[in-house]
Structure formats: structure tokens, C-alpha cells
């Protein structure tokens, strides 16, 4: 990644696998599917089913449409209120010094969406997994099935420094 202007915003699969046991790293599967309907717009389908069939060992499922979006709005995926976003991150075990790695199975934009939200709320210690789940699975790296692991609550607080 020497040619990438900001290599700190991507992590490679080998680095992540070597660091999965680090308690200061939280991995979030941010998969969402947009299913088109014959009579109109799309339906939002969280990727929890995909996640439970297989995910990066120790990763947690982040429902982008609910966990990190303002569900009181008519439109999907609206920016959440700062206190609601912080509460969601704390539930994932995230604190202000936690390294957060995001990925998705279908489209990279969901992982980058959560990465952007983290940065928008002042958490710069975040990166997207280069190649996402597709690359991870192709390389036969550590994975597991089933629900999200339980983590102790984090202490994340929003930091508006810009």
C-alpha cells in the first residue's frame, strides 16, 4: 500500500489475523443488502444472516440501519444523534482508544460508511479491511459462525475536534 495516500485507513488481512486477540481491536461486520422490489424502491435487509453463517473470528455484527443510523427519520441511514452513536459504540465494547476495523460481505460501501461515521464523531483510530470478507474467506483465514460475541461495554464518547 505504499502508493495509497492514507494507508492508515486500510488494514490488510494478514495484519488483522495477527492482531485478532488484541483486546484493543474491535472488528465490525457492517453488511447490509438492498433488495429491490417489483413495485418500487428497495428494502433494507441487515446482513445478520450472512454474518451468522460465517464471519471473522471475534467480529461483531453492526446493523448499519439501526445501530448507527437515526431510525426516527423517514429516510434510511441518516446521521444519528451523537449520544445515540456513542451508546451504540459502547455496546460494541469500543472506547476512544480502540482500533476499529470495519468490513462487509456484499459491498465495501457499508464498511466505509461506518468508518466515515466513526471519523465524523471524532474517532480517527478506524480502518476498513482491504478486500473485505471476500478476501478474508478466499485466504481461508480465521472465521466462525453464530451470533456476536459478548464484550464488556466500552467508554466511547464523541470527540468533536474539527
Specify the pLDDT at position 84: 95
Comparing CA positions, the residue from 156, 19, 8 lying closest to residue 92 is 156
pLDDT value of residue 19: 97
Separation CA 130–CA 76 (nearest Å)? 26
Rounded to a whole number of angstroms, the distance between the first and last alpha carbons of the chain is: 27
For residue 103, pLDDT beyond 70 = yes
pLDDT level of residue 92 (50, 70, 90 thresholds): very high
- This prediction's pTM: 0.91
Check whether 41 has a pLDDT greater than 90.
no
The pLDDT > 90 percentage for the chain reads 69
Among residues 160, 96, 134, 125, which one has the least CA distance to residue 9? Answer: 125
Place of cell 437515526: 70
Structure-model confidence comparison of residues 76 and 16, the more confident one: 16
Q: What average pLDDT does the segment 6-29 reach?
A: 92
Q: What pLDDT sits at residue 4?
A: 61
Between CA 73 and CA 121 the distance in angstroms is 19
Beta-carbon contacts of 154 under 8 Å, excluding residues fewer than 6 positions away, are 26, 89, 90, 91, 92, 93, 94, 95, 98
Most confident of 49-53, 72-76, 156-160: 49-53
Contact 100, 118 (CB under 8 A): yes
Amino acid at each position: 500500500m505504499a502508493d495509497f495516500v492514507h494507508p492508515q485507513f486500510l488494514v490488510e488481512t494478514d495484519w488483522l489475523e495477527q492482531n485478532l486477540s488484541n483486546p484493543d481491536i474491535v472488528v465490525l461486520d457492517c453488511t447490509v443488502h438492498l433488495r429491490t422490489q417489483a413495485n418500487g424502491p428497495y428494502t433494507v435487509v441487515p446482513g445478520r444472516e450472512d454474518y451468522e453463517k460465517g464471519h471473522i473470528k471475534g467480529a461483531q455484527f453492526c446493523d448499519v440501519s439501526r445501530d448507527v443510523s437515526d431510525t426516527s427519520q423517514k429516510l434510511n441511514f441518516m446521521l444519528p444523534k451523537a449520544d445515540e452513536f456513542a451508546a451504540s459504540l459502547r455496546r460494541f465494547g469500543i472506547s476512544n482508544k480502540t482500533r476499529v476495523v470495519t468490513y462487509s460481505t456484499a459491498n465495501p460501501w457499508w464498511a466505509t460508511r461506518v468508518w466515515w461515521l466513526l471519523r465524523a464523531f471524532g474517532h480517527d483510530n478506524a480502518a476498513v479491511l482491504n478486500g473485505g470478507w471476500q478476501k478474508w474467506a478466499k485466504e481461508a483465514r480465521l472465521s466462525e459462525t453464530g451470533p456476536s460475541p459478548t464484550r464488556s461495554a466500552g467508554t466511547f464518547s464523541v470527540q468533536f475536534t474539527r
